[in-house]
A = this chain, B = another copy of it.
Amino acid sequence: MVKEYINGNKDRFLAELFDWLRIPSVSADSRHKGDVRKAAEFVKEKLATAGVDKVEICETKGHPIVYAEKIINPSLPTVLVYGHYDVQPADPLNLWTSPPFEPVIKDDKIYARGSCDDKGQVYMHVKAFEIMMKNNLLSCNVKFMIEGEEEVGSDNLGTFVKENKAKLKADVILISDTALISLDHPSITTGLRGLSYMEVEVTGPNRDLHSGVYGGAVANPINVLCDMIASLHDENGRVTIPGFYDKVAELSAAEREALNRAPFNVNEYKSELGINEIKGEKGYTTLERTGVRPTLDVNGIWGGYTGEGAKTVLPSKAHAKISMRLVPNQSSAEITELFTKHFKAIAPEYVKVKVMPHHGGEPAVTPTNSKAFGAASKAFEEVWGKTPIPTRDGGSIPIVALFKRELGLDTVLMGFGLDSDAIHSPNEHYGVKNFLLGIETIVAFYKHFAK
């Protein structure tokens, strides 16, 4: 019945999703503030049409949160679905093969910013809910909380959660914002890394100088920034910030063995990324490096003349955005503080340094022995014919730790993307098959969870 309904309505499902993807809801860019709200209004209306009891746009200090609920019987279990309708910036635009906000299907994949992260995955829940409503299958209460600031650190969600604990009462959180190992290897994410995201500014002279007149006599802030960044890793690929690894939960030999049992082919990985060699912290495998080890990456750097041709400038300032992925039991606030202290400490006397934190988020591990995890596992078995593999994901969904802390709720991370979906990159895409199987799996989850 579910399969038939999906097949009979899939063109409409996709057309609706495309309308949503056309709204450039880039939360990081203030010029898109109106678009972000339009995307909220869109999902509010679709939830209303699908049959929720009530749906509202909840204002925050930033972008709004869409809340909806369908309470069929207060004594039945309640699932709280979390997702986000905001998207990453689309630049560099010139690398997209089709415009980021004009979705198209190529090779059975939906190409658009947000197709996988996270509008495409949120929309599976909206349509799964529609199916259950239309076919009288809903066996639990459902609540939806779809926010618009996930890509900028969910700054206002914490306050919302704290102020609405009664409203958000539920038995489990269900999130689709992660990836499967592959279409052949369904998986459920059981751990997520946290994040500290910093911006640094190094100032040398009080104005841009002529590199001929001053070069060699005055410290160049770009060179100094490069020195400082280079010093943040040692020769074994370890982060040199004092105390950085102090609270990292080391895995037991058994846990490491289990983690490395997930299918992974380094040659396929290298070839898919077009690299000759992988690189990371010495003594760990790729799955460990992205799953259970903390890391530090420069996400952006700029300074001096970056236009066409040559300009012989010794610039006044150089900048970088630097983020750290954190693992249990690191704390984002602590690591932010350690970074700030260290970066200032290593600044040589001939420059001035500013360190500004952007958003952060806590790492999280979800239980694999809960009723909800069992229901998710059975849902995959039923729809995919295979038991899903538990994995640790490198990305961050800071809200998972927040939910545990504030609401006392565990989360099930039932994501249907693929690592190759190019989320946060040009040409983000999402498989039509992932989208449709995802809807079916979500419906199956409710069935098993209600049992």
> Which chain A residues have a beta carbon within 8 Å of chain B's beta carbons?
27-30, 88-89, 91-92, 95, 151-153, 179, 193, 195, 197, 199, 204-220, 222-223, 225-227, 229-231, 233, 273-281, 286, 289-290, 293-295, 297-315, 318-321, 323, 325, 348-352, 358-359, 393-396, 419, 422-427
- A220: chain B residues at CB < 8 Å are 297-298
A28 to chain B, nearest CB (A): 3
A350 touches B279 (CB 8 A): yes
Q: How far is the CB of A88 from the nearest CB of chain B, in Å?
A: 6
Q: Which residues of B contact A211 (CB under 8 A)?
A: 297, 299, 323, 325, 424
Taking the nearest CB of chain B, how far is it from the CB of A127, in angstroms?
25
**Chain B: which residue is nearest A286 at the CB level?**
B217
- In whole angstroms, what is the CA distance A226 to B28 when docked? 26
Which of B151, B275, B289, B320 is within 8 Å of A216, CB to CB?
B289
| Least distance between A133 CB and chain B CB atoms (Å) | 34
Residues of B close to A321: CB separation below 8 A: 304-306, 310-311
Q: Across the interface, name the chain B residue whose C-beta is closest to A229.
A: B226
Could you say which of B279, B281, B315 contacts A219, with CB atoms under 8 Å apart?
Answer: B279
Indicate if the CB atoms of B216 and A301 lie closer than 8 Å. no
Q: In whole angstroms, what is the CA distance A319 to B197 when docked?
A: 22
- Determine whether the beta carbon of B350 is less than 8 Å from that of A277: yes
The residues of B that contact A396 with a CB separation of less than 8 Å are 212, 312
When the two chains form their complex, are residues A293 and B227 in contact, meaning their CB atoms are under 8 A apart?
A: no
Indicate how many identical chains form the complex.
Answer: 2
**How far, in angstroms, from A88 to B213 measured CA to CA in the complex?**
15
**Nearest Cβ in chain B — how far from A239, in angstroms?**
10
Q: Which residues of B contact A312 (CB under 8 A)?
A: 195, 197, 299, 323, 395-396, 424
- Specify the chain B residue showing the minimal Cβ separation from A294: B216
Specify the chain B residue showing the minimal Cβ separation from A287: B217
Contact A222:B298 (CB < 8 A) given known A197-B310, A205-B274: yes
Report how far A319 CA is from B208 CA in the complex, Å: 20
Asked if A297 and B210 make an inter-chain contact with CB atoms under 8 angstroms apart, the answer reads no
A179 to B294, CA, bound (A): 52
A380 to chain B, nearest CB (A): 21
Given known A218-B273, A298-B226, A305-B300, contact A425–B208 (CB-CB < 8 A): yes
- Residues of chain B within 8 A (CB-CB) of A152 are 309-310
Contact of A275 among B218, B305, B307, B318 (CB under 8 A): B218
Residues of B within 8 A of A213 (CB): 179, 290, 393-395, 419, 423
Would you call A310 and B299 a contact (CB within 8 A)? Answer: yes
| Interchain Cβ contacts under 8 Å between A and B, 21 examples | A28-B308, A28-B309, A29-B307, A152-B309, A152-B310, A207-B427, A211-B297, A212-B393, A212-B394, A213-B423, A216-B289, A217-B279, A222-B320, A223-B298, A225-B301, A226-B226, A226-B301, A276-B349, A279-B348, A304-B321, A311-B321
Question: A212-B393, A217-B286 known; 5 other A-B pairs, CB under 8 Å?
Answer: A28-B310, A216-B293, A222-B299, A226-B301, A304-B321
Please, which residues of chain B bring their CB within 8 A of the CB of A153?
310
**Judging by beta carbons under 8 Å apart, are B303 and A303 in contact?**
no
Expressed in whole angstroms, the minimum distance between the Cβ of A181 and any Cβ of chain B is 12
Contacts of A278 in B (CB 8 A): 217-219, 350
Q: How many angstroms between the C-alpha atoms of A318 and B320 in the bound complex? A: 12
Minimum C-beta distance from A289 to chain B (A): 4
Given A280-B217, A297-B215: A426 and B309 interface contact (C-beta under 8 Å): no
Q: Does B210 contact A395, Cβ atoms closer than 8 Å?
A: yes
**Inside 8 A of A273's CB, which chain B residues have their CB?**
205-207, 209, 214, 218
Contact of A302 with B301 in the complex, beta carbons under 8 Å: yes
Provide the residues of chain B in CB contact with A226, threshold 8 Å: 225-227, 229-230, 298, 301
